Chains A and B, each alone.
Chain A
């Protein structure tokens, strides 16, 4: 590719590359760069000298200037942006650093040499005031070094070298941006990606038919994509090659190379390779083929590109998997990883290298589809999937339909080749190896949500959540959701009330929500129940061995310490779901319920003893004595003023407080006395139900309750209110007054439509709680109803609580959506963890 006689040369330059301009001072590099590249693509050493030394020609600042240049270039390349270095780069050492930089970021180094005569350079420098006194010998040295370099450039590692000789050629040249070979983002398929075939020609034909291909072409124009390892071990490698090569040639298939093709290629080129791992079979089979066929195979293998980025960047196909930073990159190590994967440097008990579990760490948005490691069943892990299901070892040949994400497979006709070790029982990182990484949750984070944009988690809140999640929570695989906090109704100005439903109805009316449902607030603790149909479903969907679901609190802690008791609760729920026919109707084998578990005393025993009952006990003990003493003093004629009356009122308040908390306590024995009131069905397999209107929600749940033979489930009483109708609102208020008057906790008002936006398109509060007057004694203290106390409390600020409620709600919805979409565990956990972190934000805890 080095210089030709053509005058108007078009120089191909890869779209993601590090372009190094090489030429003496005055050779016209900056002009050339300006003409052919975007201004932000070009980094000039002169400019960097200016940055660090206020003088573009201060040679003493060169070292610092190049540090800056390399740093910026590194940032650009890491971000996938082509970068042009405008410096003389005539010395081998300076070029070596740039080639290293390109390799470090897995982009191609490209050299463009401007070989311009010394006189021209000297004349140009003389014409510039800032370089007028540059000694002639500097340019001479540059030219000398350049001439010496010319022959080495390719050996130095430049993958394209363009040498422009003379001013005219420099002037006339144009730069043509070339796509990388691996960039097929413009192809959108649909694709059928096929796992390791290993010479299993008959299975391949069966699979292709099953996928709908007729003689190598799909009537609907689908494209097959082979993940490599077409050859070796199996009975008919030539047959497989013939089929795939013709499909590729016809444009109905793409193929990336596997390590076996790579080795075969070297064999066909006459290199000495060991005929192990099934190559012997291939060599033997190819001997029966013509020389011409072998030549075509050699050519085919030689032309394979290590990996492809497809479908707008949403899909990456390669043989052995590829971490995100290598997608679309071009370097030896990218190719090596694509073909061989990465190893830890260790070997296992079978003498095979231990593979580095790159997929466990994978956090990219592109799906990576690969093969290479035989597994019994193809399963998704962090948006990657291995399709090598060991056809040649008697497993099956698997294809993935994209974008449908459906798996199609055909069984092997027989064991064609004995494996060196048994197939792994799990996909890499499978069941117990679905580790979450600290990087997914730690520190300040921004979580993208579909419903409310970016939600920020601050570092100190993440730190607290990490502590609670790590030390106390249920296995994160079984905590796919945490409930959001809920804002109370706006503070009421009514005599004797801090909260009253009138404000809640008015709020929703203002938000444009006409129909709301008032749901009884149960006197228990929040509980989320994940109920799987059986242990197999739990294993299949959530990757756990043993438990059939989970029952946890609003911070993810197991609700019951006793796992056996938890399973009993799940059993009863399961029975109710089955009896109500919901498994089939909802087409699911698990469901996630938001609920209230009663009594409150079941979970809050510690708090009850140390705080609530303690206050009751202390007040109960002190008031009789204090009142007696005051009465005696008054009887003696001492003027005790209003102290006696005040103390009597305080005693009455304390007694009312004791009554209030007692309603939340009753004895339980095992599950006797324990009740669960589900009020929302959050998700089932493949679907978030968070937007299902509450009347439909409650109808489903009512059926569960009806069919519960165990007495565990409790219904949620409700009343529908039209916020625009005064009579309906009045009825809502009366309902609340009646309920709380009998000691009820209060109610939650929700838009019937569940997931609702206001006129400005913002999410409205998913619920507003209106707590009963007596219940609030437990929250605000026994004497909060005294007028002077109420007056102070009315100054409470709700803004932060409301904002928090919306943010947590959006995160909860996000977790459910991610769960429904089958996204990786870390993605679901990210949103769940963020809810927990937000719960530690400073908000008045009484709200």
Chain B
């Protein structure tokens, strides 16, 4: 597991208040992890702070799974 992947999972678990063991690469934020629209906003904000990046809101719309989030963030860091 890469450093980015580990930190993404930590952020997801912390923000959505879920067991890190439930989080897989293919986990969908909304359908599988139960992220509501406000939590999705908080996730983006948490990723931005964790990795000190600014994510484009429009592009972030396409990030539906944990794995995609890792790929997306790796482009910034």
| Binding between chains A and B | no
